[in-house]
Amino acid sequence: MAATTTHASPVPASQPVYAFQAPVRLYHWVNAACIFTLAATGYLIAHPLPTVMGEASDHFIMGRIRLVHFTAGYLLAVSLAGRIYWALVGNQVSRQIFYLPVWRGSWWCGLGEEIAFYLFLRKEPPTESGHAPLAQVAMLLFNTLGTLFMIFTGFALYGEGLGHGSWADRAFGWVVPLFGDAERVNNWHLLGMWILLCFVIIHIYMAVRADIVGRTTSLSSIVGGWRSPKGR
Ligand code: HEM
C-alpha cells in the first residue's frame, strides 16, 4: 500500500492516503489504554484510599492498585520499544513522532502556515496527510520524550521497591541520584503525569477539531489508517 506523508505531498488534496499503518494504530490504542490506567492507578498511589474495615490481607487494595500500575508500566515500555522498531521499518509517518525535520525549509513553512491558521491569520487548514508540523513537535516533546521520562522515572522507583542489585535498580538506579533522591523522583513522576494528562486533553481537542473544522478524517484515520489530507 502506498505510504505518503511528506509536507509537500504530490497526492491531490482530497485523495485519501494510507497514513497510519496497523502497528502504529495498535501502539496508539495500547499507549492510550496504558496512560489512562497508569494515571488512574498512579493518582490512587499518590492519594491512597481511606482505610477499609476488616483484615488488610482480605483486601490488599493498594497492593492490587500498585500491581496494575506496574503491569501497565511494563506494557507501556514494551509497546514503546515495539513502536521504535516500527519507526525503523515502517513508512514515513511512523517516524514522525521521533524526530523533527528542522533542516527542511518546507517543514518550517508548514509550521508557520499552521500557526497562522490557529491564530486565525489564515483561512486554509494545514494539508498534511500524516502529522502536521505543530503536532509533530507536540508528539515528540510530550508523547515520545514524555513517555520515556515516565518509563525511566517509573522503573527507577520500581528498582527502589525491588531492592538494591535488582534488574530495575541496575538498569534505572542511576536516575535516582540524577534527581537527588527517590522522593524527588517520585515528585517528578507525579508532575509528569499531570503534564501528560494536559497533553492528552489538548491532543483529543486538536484531533476532533482537525476532523470537523479541517475536514481531515483524523479520527477515523487512527482506527482505519486512511486519511484525507483535506476536504472529503
Ligand atoms: C504514563 C505513565 C505513568 C504515569 C501517568 C504514572 C503515574 C504515577 C503516579 C501519579 C504515581 C504516584 C506518585 C506519588 O506518589 O507522588 C506513580 C508512582 C509509581 N509509578 Fe508510575 N506512572 C507512569 C509510568 C510508570 C512506569 C512505566 C513504571 C514502571 C514500572 C511506574 C512505576 C511507578 C512506581 C514504582 C511508583 C511508586 C509506587 C509506590 O510508591 O507505591 N510508573 N506513578
pLDDT single digits (tens) 182-210: 999 999 999 999 999 999 999 999 889 88
Distance 186 CA to ligand 1 centre (A): 8
Total domains in the fold of the chain: 1
| Region 110-133 average pLDDT | 80
Angle between helices 22-46 and 146-162 (to 10 degrees): 50
Distance CA 135, CA 110 (A): 11
* C-alpha of residue 188 to centroid of ligand 1, in Å: 10
**Tens-digit pLDDT profile for residues 25-67:** 999 999 999 999 999 999 999 998 887 788 877 888 899 999 9
User: How far does residue 10's CA lie from ligand 1's centre (Å)?
Assistant: 45
Question: Is 162 a member of any domain?
Answer: yes
Place of cell 515502517: 90
Q: Is 154 in the pocket of ligand 1 (CB under 6 A)?
A: yes
Centroid of ligand 1 to alpha carbon of 12 (angstroms): 46
For ligand 1, whether the C-beta of 190 sits within 6 Å is: yes
- How far does residue 138's CA lie from ligand 1's centre (Å)? 22
d(CA 155, CA 167): 10
Closest by alpha carbon to 36, among 204, 152, 161?
204
Cα separation of 173 and 149, whole Å?
14
Q: Is the CB of 46 under 6 A from ligand 1?
A: yes
User: 157 CB less than 6 Å from ligand 1?
Assistant: yes
35 CB within 6 A, ligand 1: yes
Please report, for the domain that includes residue 172, its CATH number. 1.20.950.20
- Residue whose Cα lies nearest atom 7 of ligand 1: it is 42
Beta carbons within 10 angstroms of residue 19's beta carbon: 29
Q: Does some domain include residue 200?
A: yes
Tell me the residue range of the domain where 61 lies. Answer: 17-227
Q: Residue of the nearest CA to atom 42 in ligand 1? A: 154
pLDDT in tens, 147-186: 999 999 999 999 999 999 999 999 999 999 999 999 999 9
Is there a domain that residue 2 lies in?
no
131 CA → ligand 1 middle, Å: 29
- Residue 11 maps to a domain: no
Task: For residue 9, tell me if it sits in a domain.
Answer: no
